[in-house]
Structure 1
Amino acid sequence: MNFLWYIIIGIVSGFVAGKLMRGGGFGVIVNLIVGIIGGVLGGWLFGLLGITAVGIIGNLITSVVGAIFLLWIVGLLSRAVTR
């Protein structure tokens, strides 16, 4: 059952990050991938800062922050490549 929650949190966080950063989502599969990578990245970033997320809401916030950071990095890299 936990695996299902991780997938749902990944989809939701990828969707929210896509809306916040680019004005639209990328589709369910890409949102899932961005959310999962964002969850790992957010957990790592929060760990560096000494912040612990508890519960579904905490995991969702961690994943959204990580996904936003991931999309920001991708945006920086894509601008650097196009110049």
Structure 2
Amino acid sequence: MGVIAWLLVGAIAGWLAGLIMKGGGFGLIGNILVGVVGALIAGAILPRLGLYIGGGLLGDILNAVIGACILLFIIGLVKK
């Protein structure tokens, strides 16, 4: 059941980050990838900054959205 929750959090986070950063989603697979990579980025960066969003599903989604927005911002800089 953990993998399904992980994919669900990734899909939601990727979709939300797409809305925040570009104005649209990336398709189901793209949203999952962006969300999961975003969660990994947030898991590495936020604790080093002393930020703790909270636990539970909502906290996981929020962390993943923050990381996914960082990822999309960096991708946008590289594309220019």
Bin of the TM-score, shorter chain as denominator length:
over 0.9
Q: CA deviation at 1:78?
A: 0.3
Give SS of 1:29's match: helix
Q: CA deviation at 1:7?
A: 0.5
TM-score (norm 1): 0.90
Question: After TM superposition, what 4+ stretches of structure 1 lie above 2 angstroms from structure 2?
Answer: 50-53
Alpha-carbon distance in 2 for matches of 1:51, 1:20: 21
In percent, how many aligned pairs have the same letter? Answer: 37
User: Which residue in the other structure is 1:5 paired with?
Assistant: 5
- Which deviates more from structure 2 when the two are superposed, residues 44-53 or residues 58-67? 44-53
Alignment-mate amino acid for residue 2 of structure 2: N
Which structure has the greater CA radius of gyration?
1
TM-score (norm 2): 0.93
User: Which residue in the other structure is 1:43 paired with?
Assistant: 43
Q: CA deviation at 1:51?
A: 2.7
**Is 1:33 aligned to 2:33, yes or no?**
yes
**Is 1:19 aligned to 2:19, yes or no?**
yes
Alignment-mate amino acid for residue 69 of structure 2: I
Aligned length: 79
Alpha-carbon distance in 1 for matches of 2:51, 2:22: 27
Structure 1 residue ranges without an equivalent (≥5): none
User: Which residue in the other structure is 1:69 paired with?
Assistant: 70
